[in-house]
């Protein structure tokens, strides 16, 4: 496969138009087969449900080239399942999970020239999404929907090494108890924009959100879950019904327990105990793990022992093991790596 002439190291995280995208419409109570198109534009009625009442959700995953030259995706079945769950919560008709995976494969295959080569650090980011497309003026679910998947090459997340970031505890809340924090809905991001712009203006890379009801427990950031490491090497990740179930986090916890033989805990984490952890990181598809060096809050700051120059030792081991599995350098658990043929 002849690759596009792109400077993979310097493309950053932005939209680059690729050759083909997948489109399927839902009408009269059923999803049509759908297929690939070259047209990147969407023409919608001015009153479309998505435009009026934000009835939209999305997913995010990556395709990349392994060490032995295969083009693969990482656990797309979990994205299919999560989008199914999200759709139900938003009163949208779920796109069939098997067809979701087929469509992901078709989009990657059709844009294989944009899948960055092994070792470049870049990947092909895949964005499945769905929205209400027919006119809706009274508040109710749309009757018609469009499901689409596009792909765009993105550069290495860490340029010049994964430097720890400084984050802050947000004064805003991300998700209410019994709300929509656990689903990948656009609305969760719309309301996070003011909070992240505020954090950036104050010099912080990310927001740590606490639980909205008591503001005593750690939830997540706007787009990544937390993992912590205790001083005796246990990997801890916060549990809450309003946290988005990150596929990266679930994979890291599996790797920690079953590949590295570490003790793992998925439980409520109070903000009070964060100062006692040895390491802190953010996990999500984009960065895999971003190390957190410091957390600044109203009454002080928490500086983790690994400092601001490098990842903590356990975080690094988790990062190296998961990326090793993804890139085909280490054996993957059954079903994690899906080849594009
Ligand atoms: C997408 C997302 C994550 C990360 O999930 P991955 O499946 O690991 O990419 C974490 N938190 C929120 C709020 C998200 O939207």
| Number of domains present in the structure of the chain | 2
pLDDT value at 161 more than 80: no
The secondary element (H helix, E strand) that includes residue 147 is strand 145-154
Per-residue confidence band for 160, with pLDDT thresholds at 50, 70 and 90: low
Instruction: Dig out the tokens for 94 from the structure.
Output: 């779920």
d(CA 224, CA 226) in angstroms, rounded, equals 7
- For residue 183, what are the domain limits? 165-326
* Active site (annotated) includes residue 184: yes
Ligand 1 pocket check: which of 13, 60, 186 to mutate, most ligand atoms within 8 Å of Cβ? 60
The secondary element (H helix, E strand) that includes residue 89 is helix 76-89
Ligand 1 atom with the smallest distance to the CA of 188 is 13
Per-residue confidence band for 1, with pLDDT thresholds at 50, 70 and 90: confident
pLDDT in tens, 57-106: 999 999 999 999 999 999 999 999 999 999 999 999 999 999 999 999 99
* Catalytically annotated residue among 184, 217, 294, 317: 184
> What is the separation, in whole angstroms, between the first and last Cα of the chain?
12
pLDDT value at 267 more than 90: yes
Tell me which residue has its CA closest to atom 12 in ligand 1.
Answer: 223
145 within 8 A of 90, measured Cβ to Cβ: no
- Pair (271, 150) in one structural domain: no
- Pair (144, 201) in one structural domain: no
| CA–centroid distance, residue 61 to ligand 1 (Å) | 10
pTM beyond cutoff 0.85 = yes
Q: Has residue 279 been placed in a domain?
A: yes
- Pair (145, 54) in one structural domain: yes
pLDDT in tens, 309-326: 999 999 999 999 999 999
Phi, psi of 109 (to 5 degrees): -60, -45
pLDDT value at 146 more than 70: yes
- Pair (32, 137) in one structural domain: yes
pLDDT in tens, 2-23: 899 999 988 888 999 999 999 9
- Pair (317, 190) in one structural domain: yes
The secondary element (H helix, E strand) that includes residue 168 is strand 165-169
CATH (domain of 322): 3.20.10.10
Token pair 């924009």 is at which residue? 193
- Pair (225, 113) in one structural domain: no
Q: Has residue 11 been placed in a domain?
A: no
pLDDT in tens, 179-199: 999 999 999 999 999 999 999
The secondary element (H helix, E strand) that includes residue 52 is helix 49-53
- Pair (75, 137) in one structural domain: yes
Report pLDDT for 24.
98
Token pair 């679910």 is at which residue? 141
Phi, psi of 207 (to 5 degrees): -105, 135
Domain boundary among 90, 121, 154: 154
What is the average pLDDT value for the chain, to the nearest integer? 96
d(CA 225, CA 246) in angstroms, rounded, equals 6
d(CA 173, CA 105) in angstroms, rounded, equals 37
337 within 8 A of 326, measured Cβ to Cβ: yes
Domain boundary among 126, 154, 182: 154
Buried b (16+ CB within 10 A) or exposed e, 182-195: bbbbbbbeebbeeb
The secondary element (H helix, E strand) that includes residue 151 is strand 145-154
Report pLDDT for 158.
75
- Pair (316, 171) in one structural domain: yes
Report pLDDT for 159.
72
Closest CA to 236 of 247, 252, 214, 248: 252
d(CA 234, CA 308) in angstroms, rounded, equals 22
43 within 8 A of 67, measured Cβ to Cβ: no
């Amino acid at each position: 496969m002849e690759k596009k002439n792109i400077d993979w190291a310097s493309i950053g995280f932005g939209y680059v138009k690729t050759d083909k995208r997948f489109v399927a419409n839902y009408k009269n109570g059923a999803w049509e087969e759908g297929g690939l198109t070259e047209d990147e534009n969407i023409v919608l009625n001015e009153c479309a449900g998505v435009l009026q009442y934000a009835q939209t959700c999305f997913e995010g995953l990556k395709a990349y080239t392994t060490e032995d030259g295969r083009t693969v995706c990482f656990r797309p079945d979990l994205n299919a399942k999560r989008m199914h769950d999200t759709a139900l919560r938003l009163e949208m008709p779920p796109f069939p999970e098997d067809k979701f995976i087929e469509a992901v494969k078709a989009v990657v295959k059709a844009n294989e020239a944009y899948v960055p080569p092994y070792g470049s650090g870049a990947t092909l980011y895949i964005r499945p999404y769905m929205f209400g497309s027919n006119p809706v003026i009274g508040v109710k679910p749309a009757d018609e929907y469009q499901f689409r998947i596009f792909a765009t090459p993105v550069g290495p997340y860490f340029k010049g090494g994964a430097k720890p970031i400084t984050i802050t505890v947000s004064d805003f809340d991300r998700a209410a108890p019994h709300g929509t924090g656990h689903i990948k809905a656009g609305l969760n991001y719309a309301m996070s924009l003011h909070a992240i712009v505020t954090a950036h203006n104050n010099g912080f890379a990310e927001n740590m959100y606490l639980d909205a009801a008591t503001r005593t427990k750690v939830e997540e950031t706007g787009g990544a879950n937390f993992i912590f490491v205790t001083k005796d090497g246990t990997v801890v990740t916060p549990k809450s019904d309003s946290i988005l179930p990150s596929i990266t986090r679930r994979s890291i916890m599996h790797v920690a327990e079953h590949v590295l033989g570490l003790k793992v805990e998925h439980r409520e984490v109070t903000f009070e105990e964060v100062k006692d952890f040895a390491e802190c990181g953010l996990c999500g598809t984009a960065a895999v793990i971003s190390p957190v060096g410091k957390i600044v809050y109203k009454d002080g700051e928490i500086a983790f022992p690994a400092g601001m120059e490098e990842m903590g030792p356990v975080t690094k081991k988790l990062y190296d093991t998961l990326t090793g599995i993804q890139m085909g350098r280490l054996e993957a658990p059954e079903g994690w790596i899906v080849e594009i043929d």
